[in-house]
């Protein structure tokens, strides 16, 4: 049986939602628990799929994992860490992108790792060449096999001088999780410096790591031979916060996002204000609302931190379909992150995609065959359609668009949303959305 979501749109979303720990930090901090010689405790855990996947991968490697969903607290004890059966690891093929980050910690713990084929959203090619290159520089031997990669360090892992061609979040995390216990000093130039990276560094420092972040995207790590467990509260999910903020704007609603953190949303809040959205930062969250009247169009470029994050782009594009005038969005992080606009166009939006870099700076995707700039003209009334949720952020955008639209929409593929938005249906209902989940034959 497949789940079918029926959405009756045209009603502002109003009320309160709570965001918990960031999807793009929590699973990685869980992987770090493998580096300790005593149990680690991570708090503020959201109920999302990546947490299930990483819990299971830790467990099949002998780590005991206790997840108290009531309090959102996970305790991980690596005392019994051991090799796992390839078949058990393989059961997670295609589930998530996080398994690639097990390489360093598993090599430190048991001398080898088998990593299943990765999953994650289809928003571009998403290669792992940077990951494999840095691992080889640490002294790892990588063997690509059908169904995954096998990796080992017969001569141990040693610090290295590294430089990333692009400030990749995942590759920076790969370096951190490997270098902290590699012998000697690692210097990484061109590192990503997203808030989730800083939170992972905080976790590793609690465990005993010595890590320095310089202002020029250089990170220096002095390897240590022993690390202990940590106790940490995960930073809140800024991408979920920005998604609900965009939902408030598109539906002309008013949403208090408990847990939203201003410090990690600076670029988003500036943009929100320029479009005509209102917000009020209070002690334990941020209230976002549509102030009435027309929204303003704008020219926007996604970028690595501290720029406007790529994950904020899709939900905000829905609000831009309701702005008066022409907006331009240049996506510079992923080459293929505008596929979701097809469904918006079917709903009545006016969006043209272009191969050219329609931004202030040419990006890596210019002069190639990627439709990575969007021109959005508004305001356009939207109407209900049938759609299948394509990926996490694109899917959220479709759902906001359906809630903005007059009439009824139906959506399949809701399980993708649960990868990054915990208790999604309950939150929608709490905000007054007219939605209904039913089962139907495939
Ligand atoms: N890249 C390579 N080779 C590599 C690694 C990355 O070419 O080996 C390229 C990618 O193809 C992409 C760019 O570098 O064009 C940036 O990718 P990055 O490695 O930074 O992304 P990621 O670590 O795979 C994380 C988040 C994404 C978020 C990006 C950018 C997680 C699990 N995922 O992905 O989140 O968009 O950083 O900030 O942390 C989402 O939450 O919906 C999501 C996709």
pTM of the model: 0.97
Specify the pLDDT at position 440: 76
pLDDT value at 21 more than 90: yes
| Residue 97 among known ligand-binding residues | yes
Please name which of 441, 440, 434 lies closest in space to residue 14, comparing C-alpha atoms: 434
Specify the pLDDT at position 90: 81
What mean pLDDT value characterizes the chain?
95
Q: Please work out whether the CB of residue 170 comes within 6 Å of at least one atom of ligand 1.
A: yes
Q: Please work out whether the CB of residue 307 comes within 6 Å of at least one atom of ligand 1.
A: no
Q: Pairing mode, if any, of strands 210-213 and 219-222?
A: antiparallel
Atom of ligand 1 nearest to the CA of 335: 15
Choose the residue to mutate in 170, 304, 313 for probing ligand 1, maximizing ligand atoms within 8 Å of C-beta.
Answer: 170
Please name which of 274, 377, 271, 285 lies closest in space to residue 322, comparing C-alpha atoms: 377
Residue range 3-31: average pLDDT? 97
CA of 169 to the centre of ligand 1 (A): 6
Measured in degrees and rounded to the nearest 5, phi and psi for residue 320 equal -65, -25
CA of 195 to the centre of ligand 1 (A): 14
Measured in degrees and rounded to the nearest 5, phi and psi for residue 135 equal -60, -40
CA of 127 to the centre of ligand 1 (A): 9
CA of 281 to the centre of ligand 1 (A): 29
pLDDT value at 287 more than 70: yes
| Residue 333 among known ligand-binding residues | yes
All structural domains of the chain, each given as residue ranges with its CATH number in brackets, are: 1-18+235-438 (3.65.10.10), 23-231 (3.65.10.10)
Express each pLDDT in 61-78 by its tens digit: 999 999 999 999 999 999
Distance (Å, whole) CA 166 – CA 134 = 13
| Residue 311 among known ligand-binding residues | yes
pLDDT value at 255 more than 80: yes
């Amino acid at each position: 049986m497949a789940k079918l979501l029926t959405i009756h749109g045209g009603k502002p979303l109003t009320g309160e939602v709570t965001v918990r720990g960031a999807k793009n930090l929590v699973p990685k901090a869980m992987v770090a628990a493998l580096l300790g010689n005593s149990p680690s405790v991570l708090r503020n855990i959201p109920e999302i799929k990546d947490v299930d996947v990483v819990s299971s991968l830790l467990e099949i490697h002998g780590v005991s994992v206790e997840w108290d969903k009531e309090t959102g607290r996970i305790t991980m004890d690596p005392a019994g860490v051991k090799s796992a059966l390839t078949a058990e690891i393989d059961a997670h093929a295609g589930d998530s992108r996080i398994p690639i980050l097990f390489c360093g910690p598993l090599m430190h713990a048991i001398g080898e790792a088998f990593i299943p084929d990765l999953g994650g959203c289809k928003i571009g090619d998403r290669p792992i060449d940077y990951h494999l290159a840095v691992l080889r520089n640490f002294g790892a031997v990588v063997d690509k096999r059908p169904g995954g990669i096998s990796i080992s360090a017969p001569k141990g892992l040693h610090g290295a001088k590294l430089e990333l061609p692009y400030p990749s979040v995942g590759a920076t995390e790969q370096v951190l999780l490997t270098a902290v216990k590699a012998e000697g000093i690692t210097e990484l130039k061109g590192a990503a410096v997203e808030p989730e990276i800083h939170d992972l560094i905080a976790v590793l420092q609690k465990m005993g790591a010595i890590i320095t972040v310089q202002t020029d995207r250089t990170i220096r790590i002095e390897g240590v031979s022993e690390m202990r467990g940590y106790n940490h509260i995960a930073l809140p999910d800024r991408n979920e916060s920005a998604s609900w903020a965009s939902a408030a704007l598109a539906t002309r609603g008013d949403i208090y996002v408990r847990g939203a953190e201003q410090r990690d949303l600076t670029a988003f809040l500036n943009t929100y204000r320029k479009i005509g959205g209102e917000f009020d930062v209070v002690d334990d969250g941020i209230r976002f609302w549509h102030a009435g009247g027309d929204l303003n169009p704008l020219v926007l470029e996604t970028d690595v931190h501290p720029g406007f994050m790529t994950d904020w782009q899709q939900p905000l594009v829905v609000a831009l379909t309701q702005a008066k005038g022409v907006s331009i969005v240049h996506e510079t992080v992923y080459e293929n992150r505008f596929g979701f606009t097809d469904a918006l166009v079917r709903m009545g939006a006016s969006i043209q995609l272009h191969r050219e870099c329609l931004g202030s700076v040419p990006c890596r995707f210019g002069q190639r065959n990627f439709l990575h700039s969007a021109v959005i003209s508004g305001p356009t009334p939207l109407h209900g359609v049938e759609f299948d949720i394509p990926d996490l952020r694109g899917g959220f955008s479709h759902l906001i668009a359906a809630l903005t639209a007059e009439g009824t929409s139906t959506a399949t593929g809701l399980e993708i949303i649960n990868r990054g938005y915990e208790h999604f249906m309950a939150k929608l209902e709490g905000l007054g959305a007219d939605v209904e989940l039913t089962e139907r034959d495939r």
